[in-house]
Amino acid sequence: MNVLIDGSVLEGGGQILRNSVSLAALLGKHLTIEKIRNGRKPPGLKNQHRTGIELAAEIASARVTGATNGSCEIDFVPGRIAGGTYAADPVTAGAATLLLQISLPLLLFAPSSAPSTLTLKGGTNATSAPQIDYIQHVFLPFAARHFGLNVAVDVRKRGYFPKGGGEVHVTVSPGVDGAKLTSASVLERGAVTRIGGIAHIAGLPAHLGRTMAESATKRLAACGFGPDASVPVPVEIESKREKNEDTVGAGSGIVLWAELAGGGMIGGSAVGRKGADAITVGEEAANELIKGLEAGGAVDEWLEDQVVILMALAEGTSEIRCGKDGLTLHTKTAIWVAEQLTDAKFDITVEDSGHTVIRCKGIGYTAPGDVNK
């Protein structure tokens, strides 16, 4: 059956492309996407989108037409998914994390007990995608705890805009014997138990990284998050200057994360840029974390949309408490895509407290050919 996806719906960006291709590959569905990135200027595929499609096609032995830069329509006919060793490089500062986003679901269900490996190049820390440190310290720990993922990330080289050139090695352990993703229930936020972080810098003086970390720590303390607060919270923000041989070009950034007693995670981040000093960048990351905490959810707005595909694939009913600001457009888009391509059933409710709860009866996906399917 050919599934037609309108790439101009809701968020209208690359997320529709990535989630649609991943789900179509897993479910063996012939996929056509039209009006790709219709909400962007210019529309159509860029290097990183094309590279992501090519990576997914290699993993899923797919036939693809239309995967050229500027194309607004592709046709994707998946074959059999195979684990193994794969590499992808957009040859730009295109985000390595977005290459992981399209390929990770496939390798989670590769019909093999041996781990698969990905070598992903490009940008590791940019403003247009999750920083690699967010994936390492927020998304993956949450997904491991609640959905059963076993994924390790090793940042070999950092790549900053505009040169890119970063390199990330990812090891993905599939579910042995067709194991399904477990459903997640994260309805209680609980207290903040710890705040961690990393201020990273390359090709610039090391003191700038320390300044970012100190600035973020000071801002968090002013809002009641610190060891001397009325309710003490450990705050541990590492400052790390990369070796010159471990980066291409110069750049900086900071990623913070708050661990919650109820099993939730809230992140905040900022990337260094021209015209913003280290104090400002540190404060921006802290303000983003504080905003996420004040929203009162068990996940932040970025984690909220990234776990939708896992909820759809998991066995049983997952339920996630989100903040009081309502679902983001990215989250609504992820849910829409999942409903177009799977039989997962989503239910969105607003509690009396004002928090939004996403519930999803997942499809309990296992790889084709598994005896338990």
| Bridge-based pairing state of the strands 251-260 and 265-271 | antiparallel
pLDDT for the residue numbered 17: 96
371 DSSP β-pair partners: none
Shared domain check, 87 and 77: no
Three-state SS for 225?
coil
Annotation-wise, does 136 bind a ligand?
A: no
Predicted confidence (pLDDT) per residue in 265-297, tens digit: 999 999 999 889 999 999 999 999 999 999 999
Q: Which residue has the tokens 């900053």?
A: 160
Q: Structure tokens of 144?
A: 């491991």
Decide if 354 contacts 322 (C-beta within 8 A): no
What is residue 291's predicted lDDT score, i.e. its pLDDT? 96
372 within a domain of the structure (yes/no): no
Domain contains 371: no
According to DSSP, residue 342 is labeled S
Q: Would you tell me the crossing angle of helices 47-59 and 14-27 to the nearest 10 degrees? A: 10
Query: Per DSSP, what are the bridge partners of residue 164?
Result: 160
pLDDT in tens, 85-122: 999 999 888 899 999 999 999 999 998 778 999 999 99
Catalytic residue among 49, 146, 200, 330: 330
In a domain, 39, yes or no: yes
Q: Which residues of the chain have pLDDT under 70?
A: 1, 176-178, 369-373
Residue ending a domain, among 178, 200, 218, is: 178
Residue 239, beta-bridge partner list: 199
Do 202 and 290 fall within a single domain? yes
**Beta-bridge mates of residue 2:** 30
> What are the residues whose beta carbons fall under 8 Å from the beta carbon of 242, sequence distance 6 or more?
158, 200, 201, 202
> Is-catalytic flag, 200?
no
Q: Residues 266, 10, 352, 343: is their CA dihedral positive or negative?
A: negative
Q: Provide the β-strand partners of residue 157.
A: 167
Q: State the Cα–Cα distance between residues 353 and 150, nearest whole angstrom.
A: 34
pLDDT at 185: 97
The number of domains in the chain is: 4
Helices (H), the chain: 14-27, 47-59, 96-108, 132-134, 140-147, 207-222, 278-294, 301-306, 308-313, 329-341
Pick the last residue of a domain from 81, 100, 116: 81
- The answer to whether residues 290 and 223 touch, using CB atoms and an 8 Å cutoff, is yes
Q: How far is it, in rounded angstroms, from Cα 148 to Cα 140?
A: 10
Domain extent for 123: 82-178
The span from the CA of 259 to the CA of 80, in Å, is: 38
Q: How many other CB atoms are there within 10 angstroms of residue 343's CB atom?
A: 11
The pLDDT value recorded for residue 40 is 86
pLDDT for 161: 85
Q: What is the DSSP string of 48-111?
A: HHHHHHHHHHHHTT-EEE--STT-S-EEEE------SEEEE--SSS-BHHHHHHHHHHHHHT-S
The SS3 of residue 2 is strand
CATH number at residue 357: 3.30.110
Asked, for residue 204, whether it belongs to a domain, the answer is: yes
Cis bond upstream, residue 234 (ω within 30):
no
DSSP secondary structure of 283-301:
HHHHHHHHHHHHTT-SB-H
Check whether residue 338 and residue 279 sit in a common domain: no
Cα(306)–Cα(184) distance, rounded to whole angstroms? 14
Q: Report the distance separating Cα 222 and Cα 286, nearest Å.
A: 10
Query: How many CB atoms neighbour CB 308 within 10 A?
Result: 27
Domain at 201, CATH number = 3.30.360.20
Task: Looking at the structure, tell me whether residues 167 and 110 fall in a common domain.
Answer: yes
